[in-house]
Chains A and B, each alone.
Chain A
Amino acid sequence: MRLALAIASFVVLIVHGVVFYDQFFHRWEQHQTAYFEQARSLSKNAGERAELEARAPRIEQIIVTSFGDTHVDRCTTCHMAADDPRFAGHAQPLKAHPYSAAMGDVLRNGNWERRHKFSDFGCTVCHDGQGRGLDNFHSHGEDEFWPEPLLGYVTQPNWRKDFEPHLKGKEYMEANCAQCHTGEDFAGTPNVNRGRKLFYAMNCYGCHKIDGMSEGTLGPDLTEVGKKFKIDYLWESIVEPRANLATSFMPKFNLSDADIRALVIFLKSRRGVNFAETTLDRYKAHIANVAVVIPPGTAGEKAGEQLIADRACTACHKLRDRDGGVAPDLSYEGLIRDDAWLMDHFKSPRARIPDSIMPTFRFPEEDFTRMSAYLETLKTPPAPASPAAAYHELCERCHGEKGDGNGKVAWYIDPSPRDFTKAAFMNSKPRERFVASIQSGVPGTSMPPWGHALKDDQVNAVLDYVLQTFTKEPRRELKPHKAPQQNPVASDAPSIARGESIFLERCTGCHGRKADGKGPNSLDILPHPRNLRNSWFVDKVSDNRLFDSILYGVQGTAMPPWIDYGLSQENVGDIVNFIRSLNPKSTRSQYARN
């Protein structure tokens, strides 16, 4: 007992010793002592030496009240020589802060005079970091919890390693310069200015709101984004939009590192109220109407053209040389879609393409009419010289350069564009079906009727090109299938009920309990199972094709031949009746998807 007591007491004693040592012998005292010594040896007169002799280490601090909340900056406790030009060549922490004419410093009689005096500005107003700390780790913001690490100098340990090299550099401090220097072409903040231009040029403003700059509602509001997030998060959100939100449909923009850096710096400078404006200015910016102003008397199409440009439709769609890379090409819209289709689709995109991701915009009806009017003027058919050129111009965006259904916008389109390289599928369907799909489009999907843009021989030429270039395998003679032209089973309530019970038993794994193609297995299957509540599509498909697909399967997809699993013609007839009953023509409306 006594021995244990003695040991425990000894531990207490040792810990006290360590704590006292830790609390009374600081690194910053060593830095200050070093500064006093070096300053003594550098000083030229005895008075200054005596003054230095008398100084003892102490905590130095600058209290800044002019810029936002009160800052307490104790940085000069270590960085003693920040304002001592004799230390220009020393190593940190005893290095003089550089002077620069670009920052407004003035050289008078051989002595520099600062424009931004440390006594007025402190340090963290420009540099960020944690002014109150007295050790490297905490004051430089290396602690992953600190929201403002030294801008451009410090990267925190939990930041992604591949971004780290991009996140260093003095230019990041421009985000703080812009808190006071808000001029759009202020020479000291080239990156902020470039980022602002990119924000418009890359159509960011179409989806994102920044008070006083834009009104987008699809993406997160970026008005205070610089206050909320660190630069690694901003970088990641631009480079990999889905890194933080798996369902984000923000496209990956093909930006150079310099452009991304400029955007990050611009976004970092967005902090809501900045130092240069009053709260009243901010409120005015907040309520400012940045909506499109159409000069009165503008013709419908002209106004529509302006609306389409200003509403940033090209943030997703392609129109002439502008291309958002998410949604279909609008260049031939006047040829492939009529006014009724366009208006339906504007009011509710899913009324025409049930699985579209396009948001329903709440613009005034008048705007939709004008935009439709403009799109209807786009009637100039392409003048492709060869089938390859036609494919490149019209098909490649969805079906891909290699014809594998993996075009630039394919990820955003449901049902997925057809993969022409799957010979099993391509060779199991009659040529007439492909011709019909190209000429009249596939209703309820993004495949438009190209027959209005291409002549019949051109359609056939493109089809030949596709079959020869991508499918490659020569067509074989199709084996005749015993599928009836018309459903022999009459559609009545008992038949539909039988069809439903077979459907629930056999089909829901892929097609889903709602028959919407979203069953539990659907995620792993490409092409995804068909949405059988897509009325536009189901109504177009003949009984013969449904029978054929169910009984003999769809080659090149996950749909098996159910005839092998014991389904009779009568069974399939019941299923077809059930599927048709899900898509009654009379109730087809913009809500048909439900």
Chain B
Amino acid sequence: MTTDTEDRKAEAGVWGALRQLPANVWSSVFRNPLPSTDLERASTSFTNFFLHIHPVKVHKNTLRPAYTLGLGLISLFLFLILIVTGVLLMFYYVPSTTQAYDRMLDLRGTVAFGIFLRNMHRWSAHAMVGVVFLHMCRVFLTGAYKKPREFNWVIGVVLLLATLFLSFTGYLLPWDQLAFWAITVGTSIAGYAPLVGKQMQFVLLGDTTVGQEALLRFYVLHVAVLPAVLVLLIAIHFWRIRKDGGLSRPEPSAPPAKPVVKVRMELQKKIYGLQGFVRGPFTKVGNVPDDSVYSWPNLLMAELFVFVLTVSVILVVSLAFSAPLEQPVNVMHPPNPAKAPWYFLGLQEMVSYSAFWGGIGIPTVFALLLLLAPYIDRNPKGVGRWFARERLLANTIFLTLAVLNVIFIIIGTFFRGPNWTFVSPF
């Protein structure tokens, strides 16, 4: 078929080549026309660099909004927004204690789209911390971390921690009172760790207090090291989803029918993919009733919808609310109370009861429990359903801890006033 077309083109001569130039360029970039048959749908997915991360077909369960809530995708899209706005902000930012705050003022007052970029970056960062946490809750409550997906869960937990740290390092960069004292509180919590606490704090700050060295370190971590780590881990996270057989789903009620394999071996020239074997408008494999649908257009439409929804929410929020910018750093004048970023306020609240247990002990136990969850809970039942009865115990423990954390964050954020006394926000 391809040979025929090429022959016809050659016949048409120079004029014909010019006339067909747009079509030729198009078809050289996008090897497949807009698909109209199953074969074309399949080949669209795996001949496109950006689409070939998708499987050709996905299980219907994967596309159920009520199952995934799209949380993983939202996290990814927020990360993409953060990369784009972050790179643009980097053009204006200087990680220097004498200049950083002035650059914030310029971004807010003078740079075209400056305030809007900053708002988008700020709110996306906050949103990402929340959504990644919710994504983790979704995976746990549907039992999706079970064999063979154990290690992908571990990567996911590391991704959550990396997201927190990425957000935390970005918190310092505006160099205002909010940033300075939040980081002072946050790094002091790290200082409570036994044996290595003080050293860890020193390595993080490059000094005994938050200053120029800390600003530079946080900047490098924020714009280079941590994003690179996150990109790598996200890539592995996605690759493993494919290799672990797609998203988790309930066991099929009937055993799968035997697959039909019919391949006509007629090699006419060297081929660079299995696709070359296939003739006719149908794929020759996987034509069994297994509840799966083609990624194009089903999965793609879902992804596009989540993307547009995420972007539109972030845009509207950024238009309505400005990112805070408090007074320039004044080392001699701490606010009362000085609060860590909101996602660490649960820790700070616990620290107010016991420095070691609140800041280090309990969080470490939590992190270890999360990392080891798939190796502790070996019960294979209840995968692919929300709140499965067989997982009552695991879900109850997880929900209790998660809700407790949220309650502590709410108390720390809204109910704590000067000298960390209890105040009512109403």
A contact residues vs B (CB 8 Å cutoff): 1-2, 4-5, 8-9, 11-12, 15-16, 18-19, 22-24, 59, 69, 72, 74, 130, 132-135, 138-139, 145-147, 228
Contact = CB atoms under 8 A, between A and B. Distances in A.
Nearest to A12: B312
Given A69-B98, A145-B325, A11 B109 contact: no
B337 to A, nearest CB: 16
B312 A15 contact: yes
A12 B177 CA distance: 33
Contacts of B171: none
Interface in B262-318: 301-302, 304-305, 308-309, 311-312, 315-316
B266 to A, nearest CB: 41
B351 to A, nearest CB: 26
Main secondary structure of the interface of A (DSSP, over half): helix
Interface in B303-340: 304-305, 308-309, 311-312, 315-316, 319, 325-328, 330, 332-333
B135 interface: no
Given A9-B308, A69-B98, 18 more contacts: A1-B301, A4-B305, A8-B312, A11-B312, A12-B311, A15-B315, A22-B116, A23-B113, A74-B109, A130-B105, A132-B106, A132-B110, A133-B108, A133-B110, A138-B108, A145-B176, A145-B326, A146-B327
Interface residues of B, number: 30
30 contacts: A1-B301, A1-B302, A1-B305, A4-B309, A8-B305, A12-B308, A15-B316, A15-B319, A19-B315, A19-B319, A22-B116, A23-B112, A24-B112, A69-B98, A72-B102, A130-B109, A132-B102, A132-B105, A132-B110, A133-B105, A133-B108, A134-B110, A135-B109, A138-B105, A139-B109, A145-B177, A145-B325, A145-B326, A145-B327, A228-B330
Contacts of A134: 109-110
A5 B301 contact: yes
B116 A19 contact: yes
Contacts of B108: 133, 138
Contacts of A145: 176-177, 325-327
Contact of A138 (B98, B109, B309, B315): B109
Nearest to A134: B109
Interface in B108-143: 108-110, 112-113, 116
Interface of B: 98, 102, 105-106, 108-110, 112-113, 116, 176-177, 301-302, 304-305, 308-309, 311-312, 315-316, 319, 325-328, 330, 332-333
Given A11-B315, A15-B316, A74-B110, A23 B116 contact: yes
A146 B116 CA distance: 20
A59 B110 contact: yes
B327 A147 contact: yes
A16 B311 CA distance: 11
A60 to B, nearest CB: 12
A474 B102 CA distance: 76
A395 to B, nearest CB: 41
Contacts of B302: 1
Contacts of A22: 116
A19 B113 contact: yes
Contacts of A74: 109-110
A132 B109 contact: yes
Contacts of A135: 109
Contacts of B333: 228
Nearest to A69: B98
B309 A8 contact: yes
A23 B112 CA distance: 6
Contacts of B309: 4, 8
A383 to B, nearest CB: 53
A364 B304 CA distance: 81
Contact of A5 (B109, B305, B328): B305
> Looking at B109, B112, B113, B328, which has the most chain A CB atoms within 10 Å of its CB?
B109
A392 B107 CA distance: 67
Nearest to B324: A145
B45 to A, nearest CB: 19
Q: Which 5 A-B pairs have the closest CB atoms?
A: A133-B109, A15-B315, A11-B312, A132-B105, A8-B308
B172 to A, nearest CB: 17
Contacts of A130: 105, 109
A19 B305 CA distance: 22
Nearest to B330: A228
A24 B113 CA distance: 9
Contacts of A138: 105, 108-109
B9 to A, nearest CB: 37
Nearest to A6: B308
A5 B319 contact: no
A134 B112 CA distance: 12
A128 to B, nearest CB: 13
A228 B332 contact: yes
Contacts of B330: 147, 228
A135 B105 CA distance: 12
Contacts of A139: 109
Nearest to B109: A133
Contacts of B316: 11, 15
A132 B312 CA distance: 31
A228 B328 CA distance: 11
B124 to A, nearest CB: 14
B314 to A, nearest CB: 9
Contacts of B102: 72, 132
